[in-house]
Chains A and B, each alone.
Chain A
Amino acid sequence: MTRPPTGEAESPAGGVAWQPALARSALLRRDPVRQADLLIVPERIVVLNEEAAAIVALCDGERTVAGIVAGVLARFPGGTEADVVEFLDRIRAEGWLR
């Protein structure tokens, strides 16, 4: 959002070489009370479904988008590459990925 992502010159967020990582303000955690995966950001708590949580968990700043897609589709063969990419773009637009 307001801050350039790290390594912007080589892998601009959203670009082909992008290696998505959670923003510093975002925390992914398993909530044993709700039995759900949560993405926690400054003013909001987002409840993720299993596939969404798997996508976010793969955003480690090292995997590229292609790597994440491969990882997710291996676990969820019913998904599509377009869905994964769209989800990544959506949470990047929210400022939760860099």
Chain B
Amino acid sequence: MLAELTHACPLRCPYCSNPTELAARSSELSTAEWERILGEAAALGVVHAHLSGGEPLLRRDLARIVAAADREGVYTQLVTSGVGLTERRLGELAAAGLRSVQLSVQAATQGESDGIAGVRAFARKERAAAVVTASGLPLGLNVVLHRANLDAVGEIIELGLAWGVERIELANTQFYGWGLLNRAALLPTREQLARAEAIVQKYREKTDVELIWVIPDYFDGVPKPCMGGWGAISITVAPDGRVLPCPAAYDLPLDVPNARDRSLRWIWEHSPAFNAYRGTAWMPEPCASCPRKELDFGGCRCQAYALTGDAARTDPACGLSPDHHLIKGLAGGGAWTFREAAPPVRGA
């Protein structure tokens, strides 16, 4: 389960995975609502919760949310920018049962990282990493890769090794929401990707640190098996209680259920949104007769919708899609648009 506790964030990364329409702070779920939702999640079979945002540390009740998850036997990982992660705050969270921390960085150096984040945060990230490793909790690094930082992937890995992380997730930008808005500025060249992948491979041979390479589906002609299938293994709860099969699905034309109105079990089992693209019966050709349909599940519904206006089409990232021309041969370059740091005030 991905729990987006708030969409507010001190960072303004132009590929932010939050929706372009951020949930207002005044609409956020209360502590008691999160406690109830985590209980429902555990009963449904959720064993893993990524406490994410925005910046989850902006929720002053974060330790109570962690404690609620822990009581239900749900394993929690904090997904953070590091801003606000002091020794005292981490101590509180660890005491409440937090198991693991995933820290984002934007690039390998202060200047580049802050340039992408749109705010000075690198020094605070470095301190946050030190606080986590000193606490003994496992630390993972998460870096979104794109045109402006792919060439420094070796330096990024070195940074992670120097900070004492156990895992580095090198996630090539996925193009929906903010990422799609900034696609031209973020889109790497095929050569950049090939060089970066070779460097990652080289590091895999010389370090124990786990290096996860999230594939850039625009280039391979093979769609990603998005979320392991729609409504198959993952559930996202938004700051305002909306529940989605995937954090990129905010914009799909779905009747989005809300945990304020319905139980997670009903939402998972019966809501039209979770059943819309479940299984393989919804698939059009070429997916319906494709031998890979149980492997990649037709690719990403959000990408199909963003690029074709129809979420039920084959993902255009697939080389067999009739819409593949939409992404083939796209050239990158240009300036980017930062996301807003704070969600708008409701009614404004």
Contacts and interface: CB of A to CB of B under 8 A. Distances in A.
Contacts, number: 54
Interface stretch (B5-13, B44-52, B151-159, B239-247): B44-52
A3 B209 CA distance: 11
Interface in B140-172: 140, 164-167, 169
Interface in B192-240: 208-210, 212
Interface string B100-113: 10100000000000
A2 B209 contact: yes
A95 interface: yes
A24 interface: yes
A69 to B, nearest CB: 26
Contacts of A45: 47-48
Interface in A20-40: 23-25, 27, 29, 31, 33-34, 38, 40
B137 interface: yes
B77 interface: yes
Q: Is the interface of A mostly helix, strand, loop or mixed?
A: loop
Nearest to A34: B45
B318 to A, nearest CB: 26
A29 B140 CA distance: 23
Contacts of B166: 1-3, 25, 42, 95
A1 B138 CA distance: 10
Contact of A3 (B45, B47, B164, B167): B164
Interface of B: 43-45, 47-48, 73, 75, 77, 99-100, 102, 133, 136-138, 140, 164-167, 169, 208-210, 212
Interface of A: 1-3, 23-25, 27, 29, 31, 33-34, 38, 40, 42-43, 45, 95
